[in-house]
Amino acid sequence: MSAASYDGYEGLNRLALDRAGQAEAFDAIGDRYDEAFPHKEGQLASGDWLAGALPAGSRVLDLGCGTGLPTSRQLSDAGHRVVGVDLSPAMVKLARDNAPDAEFHRLDIADLRNGRLGGAGSFDGITAFFSLLMLPRAEIPCALRMLHDLLRPGGLLALSMVEADVDDFTIPFLGNSIRVSGYLRDDLRRVVRDAGFDVIGEDSYAYAPASTDVPPEIQLFVHLRRA
């Protein structure tokens, strides 16, 4: 894909400064994130699916890698070449410590345009575990189309979102405020199909974080193939 073909994603730049504010919240949270979310059964299961479904030594993007646990290390330990990105410098530092065999960059999702990490078709697989929910709904389809283009034909995407009918909604989170968006599951299926993916599997988990300020949630894990 030429650089010009990414011009349709300029919407991803609209709230860049606001997303920097989100990054500051995660800088403050640091490794308390793993303390608040200690089990992550759904994420581990989805990571296992991706690790096993990809050819050996695949190049995988971990979008919004956080601390690198469990996904970057899980995929790296499975023999894949992991490239993790996160907007939070503190999270990137933790990820480098937790998954030393992976490669990490401090980048916003909008920075992935124009071939920053290899361009169109440069990844065999992508994970986006609870990263796209940090965007307003208007930006999520743009982000999904960009991820579609970053995948090789037939490439796989493991996506997770919290099931909720909210758009850029502010919530308290581990002593900070963050903004999140979500979909009901039928709406999420429609959004990913409109972005050019086939749904090849999905699971849902009821999850209660080990925190007093975040209510129980339904986590949706959707396994997708670039159509």
Rounded to the nearest 10 degrees, the angle between the axes of helix 89-98 and helix 16-29 is 50
Residue range 204-213: mean pLDDT, rounded: 72
pLDDT of the residue at 113 = 84
Q: So what's the pLDDT on residue 2?
A: 27
* pLDDT classification of 26: cutoffs 50, 70, 90: low
> What is the C-alpha separation between 15 and 19, in angstroms, rounded?
6
**Half-sphere exposure of residue 171, counting CA atoms within 13 Å on the CB side?**
19
pLDDT at residue 19 greater than cutoff 80:
no
Is the pLDDT at 214 greater than 80? The verdict is no
Question: How many other C-beta atoms lie within 10 A of the C-beta of residue 196?
Answer: 16
**What integer best gives the mean pLDDT of the chain?**
85
* pLDDT computed for residue 110 by the predictor: 87
